[in-house]
Structure 1
């Protein structure tokens, strides 16, 4: 985890000056490549992931936000399979903005950070399904 924290922090130093453009480009790419997902996964996801990267060694503060987003995305219709598509768009956007500073090691660190976020969000989505079923009964 320490190596990942270093790699994430290093890449954030390159990406932070472009944060607004990065978020907008992520949203555009998601809406273009996966129109149904573009309407579900808002740009805030990338903002939270950038925060996660900055605090990867102590993510507890972001767990509630990730869980809330996971419940919301599920209620909007996102399925477990959609997280892979979102991750692909995320990694491609980060890579393109980082340019020559992006290495396979950075890629791996971001894959693991996104997997952590998705692993927090998906079970929260399942809880949302259970809550909705109880309310409907």
Structure 2
């Protein structure tokens, strides 16, 4: 099984996701760190992702291989993350057959109503619960 974690900017969110996934899930699960830039990829690799790749083509290609994609919701919004998310990146993630777990971390000019405002640590715990339930992982 492959879980792709997509992040940009400084990679802080992705690094926290990778670290928690690594702590909570079995070691046979591969975690790919997919950064929109090398700083984000590096931060996620330091959190013990199995593989890492950077940039549009890496994200597009790896999104096809992933069983699960975990990312901030902005990863499916073209031109978000200060322009780091290209149209091809957002399209590849959206079109992937992988289960997509999108964390409701919004760009400043977007609000989603009806969502509970939770800290990142609780969003990550919820992410792990979804993965364990969907794939029968104990």
TM-score between both structures, scaled by the size of structure 2? 0.32
TM-score between both structures, scaled by the size of structure 1? 0.32
More strand by share: 2
Larger radius of gyration: 1
